[in-house]
Amino acid sequence: MQVIRTIFALLFFLSLSFFAHASENTVKGIFEVNLPSTVIQHIPVEIQLFFPETENLRSDTINIALNGNPEQIILENGFYSFKKEFTEKQTLSISTKESSFSRSITPVPLWMSVLPPLIAIIIALVFREVFVALFMGIWLGSFIITFYQGYSFFAALFFGLFAVIDQYILQSLNDSSHLSIIVFSMMIGAMVNLISDNGGMKGVVNILSRYAKSPRSGQLVTWVLGLAIFFDDYANTLVVGNTMRPVTDRLKISREKLSYIVDSTAAPVASIAFVTTWIGAELSYIQDGISTLQLDETPYDIFLGSLQYAYYPVLALVFILILIVSRREFGPMLKAERKIKKEPIPDYHPYVKELKDEKTKKEIWFNAVIPVLVLIIGIIAGLVSTGLDTVGWNQESGIAQNLSNVIGHSDSYRALLWSSLAGVLVAVLITLSQRILTLQESMESLISGFKTMVTAVLILVLAWSIALITKNMHTADYISSVLLEVNLAPYLVPSITFILAALIAFSTGSSWGTMAILYPLILPSCWLISQESGLGYDESMAIFHNVVSTVLAGSVLGDHCSPISDTTILSSLASSCNHIEHVRTQMPYALTVGSVAVLFGTLPAAYGVPVMILFPVNVLILFLIIRFLGKKIQIA
């Protein structure tokens, strides 16, 4: 009897497991569809299908009909995704026996993606009002996207307006890197305000005045400081601009010229130095390129080989030096420099007012120098610390390569936050220890410093929002596709790449974003074009090195010319210069250097003209341009 009971029990459990297995594979075709809200013409979008009743299964198959065509799909944990490209208005229909989905989709024409940044840039340059320009650009992009989602014209205007703030601005703020830049900028503003109140800024001005006794020497000191802080462009602009502004104000150097020197030393030197926060991103893009092509090269060797073609960054630094030494200017900068010699210093920045009002009688240079040194040393220490946590120290590599690798893979935002907090705390301790200000007065000074950054933060948030619009609308893809449809000779690829990178960076306001877009696209293409044209390995590698450099150089040029660039905005902020005036005065200089670099550097270098000849020739051409176009500035 016991044996019979046992057999029946086994049969019962086996039948249960059979029915459980059978029911597990009997899947009802009820599903949900996740479709991107924005569909751009010719850009594949990912469509996800979710079958709730199969989410606990590792995999299963089910039959569906996609636009009337039967397909058998394999589900993974209830999900299935596929990509589809929409070229015109059409209906997307998905169905099973139990459920169906249908939606009419009208893709946004890809050419419209250039309208938001283009309108923003035109309004900014024509009306010299950056807030309205950026807001209108975001609103236009939001309107276009909303309109093509099926709303009427006026409804799209209405809902697109509110999407500016509840979607794009919030999404821009919901980014740790953006928040890090905001906090870092506000901490720098607070620190600089405090070292102004405790007499540190006056002491620094007095010391620098020994070397900066004239407009020429004042600009030269600014240029040298710009080269010295080479490891990060954000830190460079904020530290150099804030430190030198009182000095240049006293020497009657225009804010436009100060912001130009600050902006045009920061990114160029950070992009080509061996140990910077840029190097990690550059090496990773290069590594992806050589891995795709299976080249027997290291990314660091490729980077070193590309430096000989870095015409724009190097020539931008040389161009500033020639301007300073020759005391000549041209274009809008000439007007700005002449204007400042005849009119009083603009009194719209608290630091200037404090220096004039003699708020504190103390002039203690180390009250400013010590917090700034803590800031700079803290940035370097933070970069090394976070980099070592990521990649460690390779005993087989040299010190220079190790440092580049470590800092290149560091968390630069954490380093900036740590160092700025340390700088503020040291400034407070120094102020309190000398009883220059009370604790309450020190806190009020820090808060006043925060307030000085509000305008810049607003501009940055709007700039990031329009960058998000250009990303969602695939502006860079459109510009790239237009310029790359033409069949190119391999020797023309570096020059076209330089122009393409400059256009994308100008439109998007991001040199890093441009590099992220172009490196994966251009590096494999230039190598394959060179090989198909019958070039040997060495000739192809020379073109490859040149292209690696021109993506970087063109990105920096476009960034310098763009009014929606975050580094351009930070340069205006640190120099307390009207942002649009900074863009207007810097753009002719940047375009001059960029034109010379591509015509007399990048292009002939691709045809094999030795670099040792091209660099002196380029410097000579820039000297002649300044000599014949520039006009002398009278020394006050």
Per the model's pLDDT, the better-predicted residue between 307 and 467 turns out to be 307
Least confident of 297-301, 396-400, 528-532: 396-400
pLDDT at 635: 55
C-alpha dihedral sign at 243, 248, 249, 253: negative
Nearest to 300 by CA among 408, 149, 453, 210: 408
What residue type is 589 in one-letter code?
Y
Sorting pLDDT into bands at 50, 70 and 90, what band is 367?
Answer: confident
pLDDT at 625: 95
> Does the structure show a pLDDT above 70 at 9?
no
> Does the structure show a pLDDT above 90 at 590?
yes
**Are the C-beta atoms of 590 and 264 separated by less than 8 Å?**
yes
Q: Residue 50: what are its φ and ψ, rounded to 5°? A: -125, 120
> Does the structure show a pLDDT above 80 at 204?
no
Sorting pLDDT into bands at 50, 70 and 90, what band is 344?
Answer: low
Sorting pLDDT into bands at 50, 70 and 90, what band is 267?
Answer: confident
Sorting pLDDT into bands at 50, 70 and 90, what band is 275?
Answer: low
pLDDT at 132: 84
- List, in order, residues 6 or more apart from 182 with CB less than 8 Å away: 457, 460, 461
Sorting pLDDT into bands at 50, 70 and 90, what band is 486?
Answer: low
C-alpha dihedral sign at 307, 311, 316, 317: positive
Q: What value does the CA radius of gyration of the chain take, rounded to a whole number of Å?
A: 29
According to DSSP, the β-strands at 69-76 and 32-34 are unpaired
- List, in order, residues 6 or more apart from 280 with CB less than 8 Å away: 405, 407, 408, 409, 410
Least confident of 303-307, 407-411, 432-436, 615-619: 407-411
Nearest-5° Cα angle at 499, 494 to 500? 90
pLDDT at 324: 93
Question: Other CB atoms closer than 10 Å to residue 290's CB: what's the count?
Answer: 19
Which DSSP string do the residues of 9-37 spell out, in sequence order?
A: HHHHHHHHHHHHHHHHH------EEE--S
Sorting pLDDT into bands at 50, 70 and 90, what band is 331?
Answer: very high
Nearest to 500 by CA among 600, 618, 598: 598
Alpha-helical (H) ranges within 128-254 are 130-147, 153-163, 170-173, 176-197, 200-211, 215-228, 233-250
Least confident of 335-339, 460-464, 544-548: 460-464
**Are the C-beta atoms of 511 and 559 separated by less than 8 Å?**
yes
Give me the chain's average pLDDT, please.
Answer: 81
Q: How far apart are CA 612 and CA 635, in angstroms?
A: 36
pLDDT at 426: 93
pLDDT at 280: 62
| Mean pLDDT across 78-82 | 79
CATH topology of domain 23-107: Immunoglobulin-like (2.60.40)
> Does the structure show a pLDDT above 60 at 400?
yes
| Burial annotation 295-319 (CB, 10 A radius, 16+ → b, else e) | bebebbebbebbbbbbbbbbbbbbb
Mapped onto helix, strand or coil, the DSSP state of residue 164 is helix
pLDDT at 361: 55
| Mean pLDDT across 211-228 | 87
Mapped onto helix, strand or coil, the DSSP state of residue 210 is helix
pLDDT at 430: 92
Q: How far apart are CA 39 and CA 532, in angstroms?
A: 35
Reported as half-sphere exposure (CB side, CA atoms, 13 A), residue 622 has a value of 33
| pLDDT over 90 percentage in the chain | 22
| Mean pLDDT across 518-541 | 82
Question: Other CB atoms closer than 10 Å to residue 393's CB: what's the count?
Answer: 13
Q: How far apart are CA 130 and CA 146, in angstroms?
A: 24
Structure tokens at 200: 């540190």
Structure tokens at 211: 């070397």
Per the model's pLDDT, the better-predicted residue between 50 and 396 turns out to be 50
Q: How far apart are CA 513 and CA 477, in angstroms?
A: 12
> Does the structure show a pLDDT above 70 at 281?
no
Q: Residue 49: what are its φ and ψ, rounded to 5°? A: -110, 135
pLDDT at 599: 95
> Does the structure show a pLDDT above 80 at 597?
yes
> Does the structure show a pLDDT above 60 at 191?
yes
> Does the structure show a pLDDT above 70 at 56?
no
pLDDT at 485: 66
Beta bridge partners of 73: 62
Q: How far apart are CA 354 and CA 373, in angstroms?
A: 23
For the beta sheet containing 45-50, the strands, ordered from the edge strand earlier in sequence to the opposite edge, are 32-34, 45-50, 79-84, 69-76, 59-66, 90-95, 100-105
> Does the structure show a pLDDT above 90 at 18?
no
pLDDT at 8: 43
What beta strand segments (E) does 36-139 contain? Answer: 45-50, 59-66, 69-76, 79-84, 90-95, 100-105
> Does the structure show a pLDDT above 80 at 19?
no
According to DSSP, the β-strands at 59-66 and 45-50 are unpaired
Report yes or no on whether pTM surpasses 0.85.
no
> Does the structure show a pLDDT above 50 at 25?
no
> Does the structure show a pLDDT above 50 at 218?
yes
| pLDDT over 70 percentage in the chain | 86
Sorting pLDDT into bands at 50, 70 and 90, what band is 589?
Answer: very high
| Mean pLDDT across 151-158 | 90
Sorting pLDDT into bands at 50, 70 and 90, what band is 32?
Answer: confident
> Does the structure show a pLDDT above 80 at 431?
yes
> Does the structure show a pLDDT above 60 at 4?
no
> Does the structure show a pLDDT above 80 at 248?
yes
Q: How far apart are CA 576 and CA 573, in angstroms?
A: 5
Structure tokens at 326: 């020759």
pLDDT at 274: 66
**Are the C-beta atoms of 120 and 134 separated by less than 8 Å?**
yes
| CATH 2.60.40.1930 placement within the chain | 23-107
**Are the C-beta atoms of 452 and 189 separated by less than 8 Å?**
yes
